[in-house]
């Protein structure tokens, strides 16, 4: 079937650091998998992007690994024909597969990313590559049975389990399920840090002494934003928190009431921000006064929920399909990336930022929430 759309491209800024990427499976023997119906430990996939010194033989990574699984699964989630996203198999990124990490004596700050419900860990690859090209190590978790699909190295495929977040269930039942889900995701984030810490301390490992565990940022989109809030509200290793349209209903009552102590910043799409009386916004309004080091909250006019992912770059007809707002995709990306980079620069690298001086007037599309 010929591609319906032009082949997209993910780029990195000229003159920035080269980027490497690796993908691996983690199994947490201390936790049971609660969504497979099997007696097994929790397993999930992680993709890491990092500053690299690629070798002459290093190859560029595809945007979507195992596109034969992910493309039709995402198309089905979007209620599109299975072949709708076949063109994404041809998309390449500037990241090099398994390239050696950059040779430097300085340790890199670490950022964790949590995707949304029915998302996947590479959905924000453009942001990951940008961060890695600026000197961060970024680990994105594929939350098994919450992601649209998870493909393991041995060929096993775990698709999204709709019962994990039961659409249409009564509020009380739904929120119990949602909190159970986000607790699992929060532990995925913690276990990923545990793994990276072991590698950072293991002589001979490619990440040996390369990671700075005093500078750990966490961010997430949608349900992953809720997981990021839950994690930072319960794990002091988190030093900076950013949420993109954070889904608040799964966040525990304790975290909403106690807030978080880390520097925190929140970005909302216009589509979510204008639903002022939604349960999600009501919970965010309860939570926000308890954020003890708030760097602000904004909304971006002309955007919808998926504008925080790679979608604005990957599908030129996304606005016509109702998947993104009318704001031009390149402009969306410019705004989101500016706040993303500056937030982690001021919190993890202690660099000044004009964007975060308080008025948020640099972009006319931005409104203070």
For residue 6, what pLDDT band results from cuts at 50, 70 and 90?
very low
Query: Are the C-beta atoms of residues 310 and 279 closer than 8 Å to each other?
Result: no
Task: Give pLDDT, residue 236.
Answer: 97
Average pLDDT over residues 107-124: 95
For residue 76, what pLDDT band results from cuts at 50, 70 and 90?
confident
User: Strands, DSSP E only, in the chain?
Assistant: 19-32, 41-51, 60-62, 92-97, 108-114, 137-142, 149-151, 157-159, 211-221, 240-244, 260-269, 291-300, 366-368
pLDDT(2) > 50: no
The span from the CA of 106 to the CA of 103, in Å, is 9
Task: Quote the crossing angle between the two packed helices 125-133 and 329-348, to the nearest 10°.
Answer: 40
Maximum distance among all Cα pairs of the chain, rounded to whole angstroms: 57
pLDDT(30) > 70: yes
For residue 361, what pLDDT band results from cuts at 50, 70 and 90?
confident
Residue 87 makes CB contacts below 8 A (sequence gap 6+) with 3, 4, 5, 6, 7, 8
Going across the sheet that includes 19-32, the strands are 60-62, 92-97, 19-32, 41-51, 137-142, 108-114, 211-221, 240-244, 260-269, 291-300, 366-368
Q: Residues 172-209: pLDDT tens digits?
A: 999 999 999 999 999 999 999 999 999 999 999 999 99
Query: Are the C-beta atoms of residues 227 and 186 closer than 8 Å to each other?
Result: yes
For residue 369, what pLDDT band results from cuts at 50, 70 and 90?
confident
pLDDT(102) > 70: yes
For residue 12, what pLDDT band results from cuts at 50, 70 and 90?
confident
Q: Which residue, chain included where needed, has tokens 């030093």?
A: 239
Domain 19-368 has CATH 3.40.50.1820: yes
């Amino acid at each position: 079937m010929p591609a319906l759309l032009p082949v997209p491209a993910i780029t990195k800024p000229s003159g920035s650091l080269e980027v490497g990427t690796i993908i691996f499976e983690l199994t947490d023997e201390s936790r049971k998998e609660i969504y497979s119906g099997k007696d097994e430990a929790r397993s999930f996939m992680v993709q890491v992007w990092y500053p690299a010194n690629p070798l002459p033989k290093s190859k560029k990574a595809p945007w979507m690994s195992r596109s034969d699984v992910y493309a039709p699964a995402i198309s089905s989630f979007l209620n599109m024909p299975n072949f709708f996203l076949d063109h994404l198999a041809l998309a390449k990124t500037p990241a090099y597969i398994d390239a050696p990490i950059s040779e430097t004596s300085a340790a890199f700050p670490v950022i964790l990313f949590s995707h949304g419900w029915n998302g996947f860990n590479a959905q924000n690859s453009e942001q990951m590559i940008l961060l890695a090209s600026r000197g961060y190590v970024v680990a994105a978790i594929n939350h098994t049975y919450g992601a649209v699909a998870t493909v393991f190295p041995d060929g096993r495929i775990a698709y999204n389990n709709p019962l994990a977040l039961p659409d249409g269930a009564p509020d009380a039942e739904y929120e119990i399920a949602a909190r159970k889900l986000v607790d699992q995701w929060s532990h995925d984030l913690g276990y990923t840090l545990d793994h990276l810490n072991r590698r950072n301390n293991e002589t001979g490992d490619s990440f040996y002494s390369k990671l700075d565990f005093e500078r750990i940022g966490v961010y997430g989109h949608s349900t992953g934003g809720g997981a990021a809030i839950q994690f930072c509200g319960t794990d002091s290793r988190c030093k900076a928190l950013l949420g993109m349209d954070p889904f608040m209903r799964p966040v525990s009552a304790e975290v909403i009431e106690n807030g978080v102590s880390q520097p925190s910043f929140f970005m909302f799409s216009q589509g979510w921000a204008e639903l002022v009386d939604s349960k999600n916004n009501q919970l965010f309004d309860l939570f926000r006064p308890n954020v003890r080091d708030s760097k602000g909250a904004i909304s971006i006019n002309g955007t919808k929920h998926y504008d925080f992912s790679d979608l604005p770059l990957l599908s030129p007809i996304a606005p016509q399909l109702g998947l993104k707002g009318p704001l031009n995709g390149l402009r969306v990306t410019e705004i989101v990336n500016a706040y993303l980079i500056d937030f982690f620069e001021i919190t993890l690298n202690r660099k000044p930022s004009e964007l975060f001086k308080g008025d948020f007037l640099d972009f006319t599309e931005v409104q203070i929430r």
